[in-house]
Structure 1
């Protein structure tokens, strides 16, 4: 049973890597396309202002896209939080730290790919870090709820079998 869980978690990690990092567009003129001006431009496109969405919220269609982006970023890491709860028993502080580290890692690797290739194939956004962290925490909370329900069910079932023996 544990091996099956590890294999499923491995497939999840591979799928996340595939969704977030690929395909990587490498220009035909790479590495000649790399310049300080391009690097600085790509760095200025990184949103480091938490909860700043003003460029997106002034148009109704963009607002719909923004809500989809919120949901998908959080949903992406819910299985990670569930798996984290299954394989580790962290305290809340360690959970929050691990959740933030997960989001920072995902966005950080995207930023590195942007800087190495010199292309803006994705946007790097601190809000994605926050939403990925939220997804990890939600996944962990779902794990705790399911674990608690399973333990109650198991306890009630063992009580019923003892009662029937009398």
Structure 2
């Protein structure tokens, strides 16, 4: 049960932020917080899913209760989970642009880096604190960032054609 504590506490935080924006009638922002919660559900729970078959071929080391991968783009690490990390953050990039429509590529990049670093830092901290059992992977930072940028670019393009999305 203790391994679920970080996710439960963060869920309470996201719920309170959703409630705050609901009361302030900022409905778009609620989708942003729900997206954050969804990413946390995928990354800060003690459930691990391995989508690759060559995990043993990835150069990694054990430290602070978790497996760390600090060498990016190793051949064995470019598997289905690599691409899934991009896909899972595309909606958050779309929500970022939807909420802050004046943003452009440099802010998309910063939002993507912040997303990837937050998710991986959370995994590192929770591995050390409650033995979450998740991998802390530089590839995840890169792919999460790329997903946010792709999602924001897609929403930006949609906003150009459909003014009601601004």
Tell me the TM-score normalized by structure 2.
Answer: 0.65
Structure 2: gaps (5+ residues): 1-24, 49-60
1:45 is paired with a residue whose SS is: strand
What stretches of structure 1 of length at least 5 have no aligned partner? 26-39, 58-65, 154-166
Q: 1:103, 1:133 within 8 Å by CA — same for their partners in 2?
A: yes
Q: Among 42, 66, 87, which residue is 2:63 paired with?
A: 42
Count residues with an aligned counterpart.
Answer: 126
- 2:121 alignment counterpart: 108
1:7 aligns with 2:42: no
Deviation at 1:17, TM superposition (A): 1.3
TM-score if structure 1 supplies the norm length?
Answer: 0.65
Is the CA contact (8 Å cut-off) linking 1:100 and 1:130 kept in structure 2? yes
Q: Which residue of 1 aligns with 2:108?
A: 95
Quick check: 84-93 or 101-110, which moved more? Answer: 84-93
Deviations 1:78-115 (A, max 9, x none): 11111111122223223212211110110010011111
Partner of 2:160: 148
1:70 equivalenced with 2:82 (yes/no): yes
Structure 1, residues 48-84: CA drift from partner, whole Å, max 9, x if none? 112124xx37xxxxxxxx4321221011111111111
8 Å CA contact retained: 2:45, 2:132:
no
Report the Cα distance in structure 1 between the residues aligned to 2:109 and 2:127, rounded to whole angstroms: 27
- Max Rg structure: 1
